Amino acid sequence: QIMGTKTVLNNGKNSAGNLTFTVNVDGKVVKANGGGTITWQATRTREWIEGVSTSTWSDDVYLITGSSSGTSASGTSFKHTILKALRKEIGCRHFVSGQLLMQPENKAERLIDYGNGACDNEATVTINGKTFTITLR
């Protein structure tokens, strides 16, 4: 069962003249057969920095900031914080730049770096000072 709310608020233009939106999520997934409950709360800001004046969606570009937290079906908590704005180019499948800090309960933090702007499926993950290249799916 999927439950919750998602609200999107159009904040108008910011000081840079870009439209911004605040996205709030309070969600829950109750898994079947006593599989547990997943919770997720998030507050993000989406800044529309390119493509706003065209009718073509594929040239739209957003910068996303904010954080989220929740619990897994087994009750383990987690927190995600965007440290450097995630750049989402709608024409690309994955983020092209930005950094996300993942903090799972009782595990080492993970820093995900989406790169320098290339439209590809690669990122790096740093755990305990060791950096690994990963392929995004």
DSSP string of 9-52? EEEEE-TTS-EEEEEEEEEEEE-GGG--EEEEEEEEEEEEEEST
DSSP-based three-state secondary structure for 59: helix
pTM of the complete model: 0.92
**pLDDT of 5:** 98
DSSP-based three-state secondary structure for 109: coil
Residue appearing with tokens 């919750």: 4
Q: What is the gyration radius of the CA atoms in the chain, in angstroms?
A: 17
**pLDDT of 82:** 98
**pLDDT of 9:** 98
**pLDDT of 93:** 96
**Which residues of the chain, if any, have pLDDT below 70?**
none
